Amino acid sequence: MILMLMGLTAIERYLLVFHNQFLHQHLIVLHYIPMIFCIIYPIGLYTYLIFFYPCINQFTYTMITCGGPCYFFETRISILDQFIDLVFPVTVSSLASLALLSRVLWQKRRMQQGRMWQKNRRLLIQLLYIVILYNLVWLPMIICSSIMLFSPIPQPFLIELSINILPYGIYIVILVCPFVSLMSLPELWPQHNPNIRPLAKTDNLLRPIAPLPTVGVNVS
């Protein structure tokens, strides 16, 4: 679901920059219907595959995937799931983001539209950071999963890598994304403000001290 929404937002981002009026004229078809589909489709698909798909669970206690959904062991279903729900969204998101970046750079160079570049500069920098971050996490998972699906012999190392190590990168992306977005917004960075005085400030100025009153002492 997350990858599909990422691909959809990448396409909408391209349309928002270059075809803003067209996007608003067809907002229901280009925004609401695809978003509803990206939410309902994964829920319905995996509900059917996990609970209602006619297959037999394989409880092999020496395998890492023991106790997993049985459709994992169906080659055709696994390939379709791999392509539709993983490879396709990541590819669409990357291509749409690269198309947006390349077209903005091309128009800036061709038409010298410095104003347009300044207007979309932060958006493009943030987009580039997010695309690189997501590809660093998802591309190794796609490569390992594809090798396991099409390899004629078992790959224990890749199975261990794609199940017990690489999925944790997804949580790293979620944690790092706010900081990546913050990198493209320098106005939110902490800056020194001379109007704000520190709570404790040492003063090295010399000031005269009033003389202390003398107290008479009777000496017997």
Is the pLDDT at 209 greater than 90? The verdict is no
Is the pLDDT at 185 greater than 80? The verdict is no
pLDDT band with cut points at 50, 70 and 90 for residue 41: very high
Residue 142 tokens, joined: 């796609």
Least confident of 35-39, 66-70, 133-137: 66-70
**88 Cβ partners below 8 Å, 6+ apart?**
7
Sign of CA dihedral 66, 70, 72, 76: positive
Is the pLDDT at 42 greater than 80? The verdict is yes
Distance CA(137)–CA(164), nearest Å, equals 14
Q: Is 10 exposed, middle or buried (0-12, 13-18, 19+ CB in 10 A)?
A: buried
pLDDT band with cut points at 50, 70 and 90 for residue 202: low
**7 Cβ partners below 8 Å, 6+ apart?**
88, 89, 90, 92, 93, 96
pLDDT digit string, tens, across residues 79-124: 888 888 888 888 888 888 888 888 877 877 776 655 655 666 777 7
pLDDT confidence of residue 117: 59
Q: Is 4 exposed, middle or buried (0-12, 13-18, 19+ CB in 10 A)?
A: buried
Residue 90 tokens, joined: 């990541």
Is the pLDDT at 156 greater than 80? The verdict is no
pLDDT band with cut points at 50, 70 and 90 for residue 40: very high
% pLDDT > 70, the chain: 76
Sign of CA dihedral 201, 205, 208, 212: positive
% pLDDT > 90, the chain: 6
pLDDT band with cut points at 50, 70 and 90 for residue 36: very high
Interhelix angle 114-150/2-18, nearest 10 degrees: 150
Pick the closest to residue 133 from 106, 101, 103, 93 (CA basis).
93
Residue identified by tokens 């996490």 is 137
**69 Cβ partners below 8 Å, 6+ apart?**
49, 50, 53
Give whichever of 13-22, 41-50, 98-107, 126-135 has the largest mean pLDDT.
Answer: 41-50
- CB-CB neighbours of 157 under 10 Å: 9
- CB-CB neighbours of 96 under 10 Å: 22
pLDDT confidence of residue 190: 67
Looking at every residue in the chain, the average pLDDT score rounds to 77
pLDDT band with cut points at 50, 70 and 90 for residue 193: low
Least confident of 65-79, 101-115, 164-178, 181-195: 181-195
